[in-house]
Amino acid sequence: MHVLLTGGSGFIAAHILDGLLQRGHSVVVTVRSQGKADLVASAHRGMEKHRLDFVIVEDIAREDAFQKGAVIHTASPFHFNTTNVQKDLLDPAIIGTKGILKSIEEKAPSVRRVVITSSFAAVVNGSKGFWPEHTYSEADWNPITKEEASKSAVSGYRASKTFAERAAWEFIEQRRPKFTLTTICPPLVFGPVKHLSSPEALNTCNQRIRDIIQGTDHGQLPPGLWVDVRDLALGHVLAMEKEDAAANKRFFFTPGTFSSKEVAQIVGKNFPELQHKLQIVNSGDNVKSVSYNINIDHTNRILGVPWTSLEKSVVDTVHSIKTIV
């Protein structure tokens, strides 16, 4: 299939691009600068026999950028480095998502499938910390309001993902376009980094593993849900390919839970040279499991991704970042 992949310079998009190229699809990637295009191209050298093109993001509404069979939209700000939630988080996420869907509808009648990277942030109810009687699935929606969104960068990010995904589903309901939509809701994503312009550019989620190997994580963060980036990338590609089964569905995408202490124990076992930095291993008891249940039956049944173990994910992540952070 001919695919347009947005946010091609991102951590997750790099793996989606791998999966698409390996499975024979041809891909046009959107990036925000020529430098980023060069970075992505060099990380995928050796795949030249497949088609791989780039467009600078300002050109995203250009008609020929959209003459594809599918669009995978990953681009969205994922950082907490802002004092202007509206401008830096909400607008790019919401306007970006609506803008792409509108452009496809108006200019690209050949697009049949759209897959959007949403987030567990669009699922979780942040006001319920301890919630043992609840089971999260794709049926849940974060009830965050506009007022709550502006309270902090974390709330702003969660709201950006919730409002952007809601806007996408509203678009489908109201416009009934020719294409179908699938959204994927992953929690924290671990896994090897394919390209990095600088140590500061390390993506937000792998900063948690960086902090553990640098000894600055003292177990202050609660346990959470995670997923390996390669499984997530495959999930996007399968969602696109399984047109009938995955169309107009939302997927909660995680194999389960992790804690910082558990990650540190894996690092200690596999990287003895880092042992002395892993203060958290000897810190007090770090509760392993989260305070709610999860149901991923729908994702397992329809996408059927063989989940990578936490140990493999952490080991591969540490191999990829330990020399650069």
DSSP sequence for 133-153 = T-EE-TT------HHHHTT-H
162 forms part of the interface with ligand NDP (CB under 6 A): no
Quick one: 45 exposed, middle or buried, by C-beta within 10 A (0-12, 13-18, 19+)? exposed
Among 5, 10, 66, 217, the residue binding ligand NDP under the rule CB under 6 A is 10
Nearer to ligand NDP, 69 or 186 (CB): 186
Nearer to ligand NDP, 239 or 281 (CB): 239
| Angle, CA of 57, 60 and 61, to the nearest 5° | 150
Among 85, 189, 213, 305, the residue binding ligand NDP under the rule CB under 6 A is 189
CB 228 within 8 A of CB 215: no
b/e 280-303 (16+ beta carbons within 10 angstroms → b) = bbeeeebeeebebebebeebeeeb
Provide φ and ψ at 189, rounded to 5°: -110, 120
Q: Which residue stretch of 37-45, 70-78, 241-249, 264-272 sits at the interface with ligand NDP (rule: CB under 6 A)?
A: 70-78
Residue, CB closest to ligand NDP: 10
What residues form DSSP beta bridges with 189? 227
Nearer to ligand NDP, 215 or 224 (CB): 224
Nearer to ligand NDP, 7 or 235 (CB): 7
144 forms part of the interface with ligand NDP (CB under 6 A): no
Contacts of 171 (CB under 8 A, 6+ apart): 98, 101, 102, 177
Nearer to ligand NDP, 19 or 186 (CB): 186
Nearer to ligand NDP, 11 or 292 (CB): 11
Both tokens of 325, joined, read 């952070």
Among 97, 103, 117, 180, the residue binding ligand NDP under the rule CB under 6 A is 117
Among positions 202-261, residues that touch ligand NDP (CB under 6 A) are 203, 205
12 forms part of the interface with ligand NDP (CB under 6 A): yes
192 forms part of the interface with ligand NDP (CB under 6 A): no
Closest CA to 236 of 41, 55, 70: 70
Both tokens of 258, joined, read 């992790």
The distance of closest approach from Cβ of residue 190 to ligand NDP in the complex, given in angstroms and rounded to an integer, is: 8
* Chain-centroid distance, C-alpha 65: 23
126 forms part of the interface with ligand NDP (CB under 6 A): no
Binding site for ligand NDP (CB under 6 A): 7, 9-13, 32, 36, 57, 74-78, 92, 96, 117, 119, 161, 186, 188-189, 203, 205
